[in-house]
Structure 1
């Protein structure tokens, strides 16, 4: 269960970072970042909920979460030098992607 607790924490941290990034990207009309962060935020919320209840579909969802988080990290990294929220989001997404990928294999 420790792995699931770590994953839930990473998913929630990623969700929060994405929401902050969305808010900041709205101000500068960075559509690419907004779109992927919305998807990432939603999948992280769902993944955390599945983990919290011990869903038997968790590994499938972890794989998708890892894929979306990786894509979000890559997009946000493009803007990290100019926007602190993009840097924080990229870091949170990368960590979440790594943990979810590990659990997807389990």
Structure 2
């Protein structure tokens, strides 16, 4: 399979997508949503690009490098925002995002 060389990135992308979706859902449960708005928005952006890139790598996209660069940027922005919040789900999401950004940079 052509995507075997991307196995580490595919795993990181999947874990990041799951962490972002969990963070998104958990943030929506917070009593005061106002300070969480940017976190929620970036969780969605990040989960979507990670899911897309994971699928694209599996099917052998010719745009791996370009998509990975965009994904790394979004993952870093999401991680930076999540790090600002003390919630465990935000901290876990930030860790997954940084790991994913690093994996994407290896492709980009």
Cα drift, residue 38 of structure 1: 0.2
CA shift in 2, pair 1:90/1:3, >3 Å? farther
> Does residue 63 of the first structure (1) align with residue 65 of the second (2)?
no
Give the whole-Å Cα distance in 2 for the aligned partners of 1:75 and 1:3. Answer: 30
> Does residue 9 of the first structure (1) align with residue 11 of the second (2)?
yes
Q: What does residue 92 of structure 1 align with? A: 96
> Does residue 19 of the first structure (1) align with residue 29 of the second (2)?
no
Q: Which structure has the larger Rg?
A: 2
Q: What does residue 74 of structure 1 align with? A: 80
TM-score (norm 1): 0.92
Question: CA offsets, 1:12-62, max 9 Å, x none?
Answer: 000000000001111121111000010000000011011101111111100
- Structure 2: gaps (5+ residues): none
CA shift in 2, pair 1:31/1:11, >3 Å? same
Q: What does residue 50 of structure 1 align with? A: 56
Cα drift, residue 102 of structure 1: 1.3
Point out 4+ residue stretches in structure 1 off by more than 2 angstroms. Answer: none
Give the whole-Å Cα distance in 1 for the aligned partners of 2:5 and 2:14. Answer: 14
Q: In angstroms, what is the RMSD of aligned CA positions?
A: 1.0
